[in-house]
Amino acid sequence: MGASMTSVVAAAGYMPEGVKRALKVVDPQRGALEAPPAFVACSKAIDYACGGCGIVLLHAKEAQIHGLVIRCRDCGAHNGTG
């Protein structure tokens, strides 16, 4: 069949509210940013959550942020943005 409604909407540049994705836990790195509070790259965006505890660390459009490591202040996990 065709693409799902979410993928069609995302391809058009819009994301439905409430979309949440887990970040990948990576090896600890020096110079990692720390959150929460969450970083906001875009207000109408995906909530990227800690891969360790699930708390939101970043609000961004899909594939907007690359190469960041964010250390979760709640659980200590280091999360990579890809």
Residue 11 placed within a domain? no
Q: What pTM was computed for the model?
A: 0.77
Q: Is there a domain that residue 66 lies in? A: yes
Q: Which domain holds residue 74?
A: 17-80
In a domain, 4, yes or no: no
5 pLDDT above the threshold of 60: no
28, 78 contact by CB (below 8 A) = yes
Cα gap 29→47, rounded to integer Å: 22
pLDDT, tens only, 17-73: 679 999 999 999 999 999 999 999 998 899 999 999 999 999 999 989 999 999 999
The answer to whether the CB of 33 falls within 8 A of the CB of 71 is yes
Domain presence at residue 31: yes
Q: Is residue 30 part of a domain?
A: yes
Q: In total, how many domains does the chain have?
A: 1
Residue 2 lies in a domain: no
| pLDDT bucket at 16, cuts 50 / 70 / 90 | low
* Residue 1 resides in a domain: no
